[in-house]
A and B are shown apart, each in its own frame.
Chain A
Amino acid sequence: QLDLVQSGGGLVKPGGSLRLSCVGSGFNFNDYYMSWIRQTPGKGLEWISYISISGHTIVYADSVKGRFAVSRDNAKNSLQLQMSSLRAEDTAVYYCARGRGGYSDFWGQGAPVTVTS
């Protein structure tokens, strides 16, 4: 059964760090690029990061560049998002999603991140 299981969300203070994980099952993880997308409370969707199948190509949105780092381990079917220097405006539900051909055809369940003092 197809699944992307996310973990690692939570409460963190401004300036702090948090690591999100996303583990895939039921499909060949190394056939898909992966993305992170976030959704702020009551607002829309914002794409924040892309990592290619090999992990050699990584792209970030300007809003997180220099603060967030994405990585993947194809042997473990896992994707990580290391978030540093967190700000209140990073408060959101974070989704991992698998992608192919420019679209994300399956998403994780989401991990809420709250940045507050």
Chain B
Amino acid sequence: DIQMTQSPSSLSASVGDRVTIICQASQDISNHLNWYQQKPGKAPNLLIFGASNLQSGVPLRFSGGGSGTEFTFTISSLQPEDVATYYCQHYDNIPQYTFGQGTKVEIK
């Protein structure tokens, strides 16, 4: 089974900072990688699909990149409303889905 490892598990940054989260796959997954945002008490919300495609309606400060085994998720300018936990998710052709452990983002 493919394992997804996210880092860091949490981070604290100032408003306006650039924030980057890493997701590593245990083997090559091409671009089969999505990113979700989950705010406390809410369901997850899709931000990025196919590693780098911004979901409709998602602010442009969010972006994703990478392929193969290493992926990045970036918030170009952190806003107070971005406080949340972010998850990467791999999907394969079976289909099966594997989530990373999550990264909790807080404001310093």
Contact = CB atoms under 8 A, between A and B. Distances in A.
Interface string A92-110: 0001010001111111111
A45 B43 CA distance: 10
A114 B36 CA distance: 25
Interface of B: 32, 34, 36, 38, 43-46, 49-50, 55, 87, 89, 91, 94-102
A59 to B, nearest CB: 6
Contacts of B34: 102-104
Contacts of B101: 44
A47 B44 contact: no
Given A101-B49, A105-B55, A45 B44 contact: yes
A99 to B, nearest CB: 9
Q: Find the residue from A44, A108, A110 having the highest chain B CB count within 10 A.
A: A44
